[in-house]
Structure 1
Amino acid sequence: MRLRKSLRNAMLVMLVSITALGISFFLYIRWFMEVRAGLLELARTLNLDGDRILAPETFSVVLTLSVLVGLILVGLSVIYFYYRRALSLYRVQRRFFRSFTHELKTPVASIRLYLDTFIRHELPREEALRYLGYMKQNAERLSEQIEMILNLARIEGGVTPLAPEPVDLGRKIQAIHASQPHLAVLSLVVTGEKDPLFYPVDPVLFTMVVTNLMENALRYNDSDKPAMLVNLDKREKDILLSFNDNGLGLQKKHLKSVFRRFFRANPMGPTPGTGLGLHLVGHLVRMHKGRIWAESDGPGRGSTFLISLPLKKRDLAKNEKKNSDNRR
């Protein structure tokens, strides 16, 4: 209801502005014609050539009117454009708050239900442990959502500084996968360069990037055997990391939108989410001066997320030195 009222108000403002523009243009023309007629009458009284006298003024007035009308139209267009953007952001935020509220309420309600069960009933040890396991899962889910919001706030606010150090990218990706038990279901294969590929990244932030991509590959996947293939390719000017999964895939129209804040390809789908994971990933990659984009052959055909990290001469020198030390 409030959204419709805002839209009606904006359209009313636009209508009033256009009407005012039309009236102003009409009054300008009328004023110009009256002034021109008066000047012509004066020129005839003084036996002067009116057309020669008024020609420069005519051009100046017409040019001035055209510029003013153009500026007014540009101003109205800019106002309308920013209003549409604000309206779109408002809609996305409303969807996010509904979704995020649900994400917070669901584990809380589940934990409360199990606690009520413990209070009212004397449960066998085995059943109690099973319920405690469910409660732990819900608590971890709740913690993850809160941590996501806090991380995004810290990183976008510049509170988290970038502390890069040379890291063997292939080994780091494998270590991230191995260190998180909930990712064990995802089969991971890392291919690419024969020699270790070192690059200066912030280990903590890079872990967040890789973890989010792996969790997405696992969450949005209906395969019996979720899998991800990571390929590392050192090129002339950059290092290209590709994360290819066998998940649900993406429609072509969503490939650029997935990195927007609060965006979800299927907000009404059964898979929970806040639409912040890939937005955070994109922000972290940009902090490393890199680029990230998505590719997919369509729904049901998996997705590929590609990260390009720029190579500088000193990065190449450090990489060669590391490889030389490893061979020794």
Structure 2
Amino acid sequence: MKDKRAYRKNFLLVTAFVILISAFVIAILLLSYKLTRRYIENEFGSRKVDVLEQTIRPYNDFFQNKIAEITSYNGFLNVTSAAKYSGSVFSKYPFVKNVTFYDLDISNNLKRFSFRTNHLSIYINSVYSFLPGKNSNGLPQVKALKKKKLNDADFNQMSLQLSDYIEDVDTAKISSPDIDLRKNFYNIRPNKISYLNIPLRQELKLYKELLRINKPVFNHKQNMFTFYLDPFALKIRNTNPGLYQSITIRPLVYDPIDNDQEKFTTEIAFPGAFSNYKLYFRTNKSFLTHEIIKSFLPIAFGVMLIYFFLLTIALLIYRNLNVNLKLFKLQYDFINNFTHEFKTPVSVIKIAGSNLQSKNELSERQRIHYGKILNEEADKLNELMNKLLSFTQLENKSIQIKSQQIDLDQFTKSQIESLRIKYPSFNISYTDSDIHAFFTDPVLLGSIYQNLMENAYKYSPPERKELAIKIEKNKKEVIFKFKDQGIGIDQAELNNIFKKFYRIQNQYNQNGSVGLGLAFCKELVNFMHGEISVKSSIGKGSEFVVALPYEH
């Protein structure tokens, strides 16, 4: 019955453990799914920036690089070279639907100007419009525009920006004609970008002087382009197809009337010339749920892997409990057998004693015989008791603090003298303390002394085998300081030296150390309700400080 009850308790313990970890795993899975759903929904709102960056990348390349190529022509583009340039724009950037080219002259001719400020005149020589599609020469379709019917708003705006820039610029600080002056030579409006090539520094200097004085007549060529853009021709690049089911380009004011509760929606506006438009994202909840499950599965797999690992641990615990049960039965049998072994000699001794106490007279032979029996059985009992005591001590492995009053000065000196016998060359100095009556376990304290002094000797170079021992009283503690002149300990090692079997790799530790000395000291100090610490510097030595409670 006892065995069955023990087995049932073991089974219930393991069952409770399995139920607990199962409930914990279920809670983790539910929480993980909830967090994964929240993460995916947050990603739905934040990853749209990636889609925008990839979709708008051709426009950024066009704006930052392709348009800037116009400056390299220094204003000397004609209708043919402008047509070739426009053709390269149409072939690479399909969202450019029309290009208007202005062939301009900048001069001080007061009679010939389309825009004028002070003595500076800007004159439109000709204007051409280029459209996608090639003519017989392989160039874009071209159409000459009449200046009288031309809407000069783009030209006037760029001319005004140029004149304002010339008036404010410090030509001495312009280091290169390739300097980024886009804010002055670009005009960005919805679906339209106008650009005037950046003049050279000497040209800017001449234009600036022309604003103030009238120099001899001169002409400088300038080119201006206006690009008409179609945002709906941008290629949408869905970098997250698992998040976004549908991405469209809509006007910025677009707001669908039917707000379907079964759909997730978000939006982000385009920059620059497309600022009147936005990317509109829409995804069905069922579609997003599929992505949530897809992201959740690796987490669930990891959790289940841990779960099966814990189940394995539970199985091992169950097996261990069964082993313990068997050990318990062996111990129970051992005690029964041992008790039986006690009963037999006790019974024999009892019988022999009774016979010796009987009123009947015994012969000499009988007395000798009963005496022999008593001795033999007593020896058996003594042997059994010694075996039991040894077994108990080995099983418990326990010690007790046997506190007694000691004179610290005399105790310390005796420890030093005993070590000097072993190491005559070891120079140990000690200054008498004012503490004479100290209650502690001298055996345990002696073990601490011996380990720390042995450690100081072992890790000191032959020419610096020195140790200074100092004892102080601090409030309710007695402080023992052991300061050597040894090799020292690296700061990175200080947190490890008190760990069992840890060895610092150096020439002093190649042989004769298993890493138990300082660990044993720490265990002893902790057992005596104290603390141990160390301060050390490489090449300068170490100081071990032991603090033990002071008892009167």
Give the structure with higher Rg (CA). Answer: 2
Name the TM-score, length of structure 2 as normaliser: 0.29
More RCO (CA 8 Å, sep 6+): 1
Name the TM-score, length of structure 1 as normaliser: 0.47
Report the structure, 1 or 2, having the larger helix content. 1
